[in-house]
Amino acid sequence: MHPVLIFRHSPTEGPGYFTTFLDRHGIPWQLVRIDAGDAIPKTLNGISGVCLMGGPMSVNDDLPWIPPVLTLIRQAVAADIPVIGHCLGGQLMARALGGTVGPTPIKEIGWGDVCVTDPNAARPWLGDTTQPMTAFHWHGETFTVPPGAVRILESAYCANQAYVLNERHIGMQCHVEMTPELIANWCENGADEISASDSPGVQSPDLIQADIASHTAQLHNVADKIYSLWIQGLRRLSPAGS
């Protein structure tokens, strides 16, 4: 089948568990390193899906790569090519599809529960659960839900944690792709941001990394459900297109 196109916007915010999941299911993928100056494809020919990772920048920044990425997102949705966004990726999707992105009232960094807001829309992605689920957060901005999409998750500090468009596209404010290695790297590189914040939604690096094996196992349980539905929509075409 054709590969999933993965956009990385920062060298520290790689795909993590997402590519572990793809590899486990025999799904090829291609990494576009925006941070390293990789060229942005002009079309999605030969691409089965689009994944957008996080990053420290704002969707509202005047960066040359943002307009062409927004165009590709719109092209993918119009062509029924599945799109999935993590944090900044969810914000890019929202912006491309008619939503807005701006400061969140309370910054979130660390572990925090997310809760289902629309059981019917969430069921294909998360099953019948009505219990809070563990997620990882690191954001100071958030999106509005774009027209036509349905909000499915919220947290105590951020009303819009995830939205879905049909059963093919999902944009998330939270991170479900985290691994212990990614978390340790973020805590090291983001120590100054954490220490400078007085937000009640920001945890210390020590607290974030306490019992990390249990937390990431719970996180990957959520990720498995989301990713399992998402890959069902991939275009399972041979490289020759037959």
Q: What is the dihedral of CA 55, 208, 109, 126, to 10 degrees?
A: 80
pLDDT of 44 > 50? The answer is yes
Structure confidence by residue, pLDDT tens digits, 141-189: 999 999 999 999 999 999 999 999 999 999 999 999 999 999 999 999 9
Residue type, 24: R
Structure confidence by residue, pLDDT tens digits, 96-155: 999 999 999 999 999 999 999 999 999 999 999 888 999 999 999 999 999 999 999 999
Specify the pLDDT at position 232.
96
What is the distance between the alpha carbons of residues 239 and 242, in angstroms, rounded to a whole number?
8
Residues whose CB falls within 8 Å of the CB of residue 130, separated by 6 or more in sequence, listed in order:
116, 119
Among residues of the chain, what percentage have pLDDT more than 90? Answer: 95
Structure confidence by residue, pLDDT tens digits, 84-100: 999 999 999 999 999 99
Section 52-80 average pLDDT: 97
Q: Where does residue 241 rank: exposed (0-12), middle (13-18), buried (19+ CB within 10 A)? A: exposed
Residues whose CB falls within 8 Å of the CB of residue 57, separated by 6 or more in sequence, listed in order:
9, 10, 63, 88
pLDDT of 50 > 90? The answer is yes
Specify the pLDDT at position 210.
96
Specify the pLDDT at position 236.
59
Specify the pLDDT at position 238.
42
pLDDT of 242 > 60? The answer is no
Among residues of the chain, what percentage have pLDDT more than 70? Answer: 97
Q: Which residues of 66-99 are buried (b: 16+ CB within 10 A; e: fewer)?
A: beebbebbebbbeeebbbbbbbbbbbbbbbbbeb
Structure confidence by residue, pLDDT tens digits, 189-240: 999 999 999 999 999 999 999 999 999 999 999 999 999 999 999 965 544 4
Average confidence score pLDDT of the chain: 95
DSSP 233: T
Specify the pLDDT at position 240.
43
The beta strands (E) that lie in the chain are given as 4-8, 29-33, 49-52, 83-86, 101-116, 133-143, 150-154, 162-165, 169-172
Find out if CATH 3.40.50.880 is the number for domain 4-232. yes
